[in-house]
Amino acid sequence: MIGLLARAIAAAKGLKAGAAVSKAVGGARFAGTKLAEKLGPNFAKAFPKEINGVPLRGRGIVGSVLPDIGFGVMSGMQQPGDLGDKMIAGGTDMILGAGLTGGLRGVLGARPGSALSNTIEMAGGYGSGMASYPLSEQLLRIKGGGQSPYDKLQTEQYAAMEQQIKDDLYAQMMGGNRTPYIQDPFLSANGLA
């Protein structure tokens, strides 16, 4: 935890140093509006600074990415296996979701709140979920030596079920609870059996 904090402080100092260098070379910046301009006019329309005079913090990107992060976390939580498996499943879902929805909004220039933007968010979210599953499944198979966590879980459950069936058969055959001989009901009713 302390190492992470030290890295964050070093990165913050690097940002300050970068701002000083930027001022020294004539004020060239590649963040904020300049970055949006570099990515194209559609990207700037998709993530405006304000809508109807109301400023958008984070240029609306947070509202676009937050659901993808939430569903990525849920996907990771539902994944069986160790922490690495959960991180692979959740991270794949997050990255594809944020990249597909935010990127598509940026390419098309869909303004936040418009029908096109909402459609991209909904369809992109579903599409990225569908696309991330096979990708994360293959990554998990690579990590797991050919078996995904679901494959390992299935193997364990089949082995437990097989052992339970063997135990039940052994108890029936060797114990006192043998299945009685089934007789013909007609013969039994007429006293012939």
Write the pLDDT tens digit of every residue in 97-148: 888 887 787 778 777 778 888 888 888 888 888 888 999 999 999 998 999 9
pTM for the whole structure: 0.58
Q: How sure is the predictor about 156, in pLDDT bands with cuts at 50, 70 and 90?
A: very high
Total number of domains constituting the chain: 1
Residue with token string 């509202």: 63
Q: Where are the alpha helices (DSSP H) in 144-190?
A: 149-174, 185-189
**Inside any domain, residue 183:** no
Over residues 168-193, the mean pLDDT reads 72
**Inside any domain, residue 74:** yes
Helix (H, G, I), strand (E, B) or coil at 177: coil
**Inside any domain, residue 8:** no
Residue 35 has pLDDT above 80, yes or no: no
**Inside any domain, residue 166:** no
Query: Do 60 and 48 touch, CB atoms closer than 8 A?
Result: yes
Residue 27 has pLDDT above 50, yes or no: no
**Inside any domain, residue 18:** no
- Residues in Cβ contact with 42 at an 8 Å cutoff, skipping those fewer than 6 apart: 106, 107, 108, 109
- How many other CB atoms are there within 10 angstroms of residue 180's CB atom? 6
Residue 4 has pLDDT above 50, yes or no: no
Range among 12-16, 104-108, 162-166, 188-192 with highest mean pLDDT value: 162-166
**Inside any domain, residue 55:** yes
**Inside any domain, residue 160:** no
Residue 179's pLDDT is 55
Lowest mean per-residue pLDDT among 35-39, 42-46, 106-110? 35-39
Q: Which is more confidently placed, 96 or 171?
A: 96
* Contacts of the segment 81-89: beta carbons below 8 A, 24+ positions apart: 81/140, 81/144, 81/149, 81/152, 84/143, 85/140, 85/143, 85/144, 85/149, 88/136, 88/139, 88/140, 88/143, 89/136, 89/140
**Inside any domain, residue 49:** yes
Range of the domain at 117: 31-147
Q: How sure is the predictor about 15, in pLDDT bands with cuts at 50, 70 and 90?
A: very low
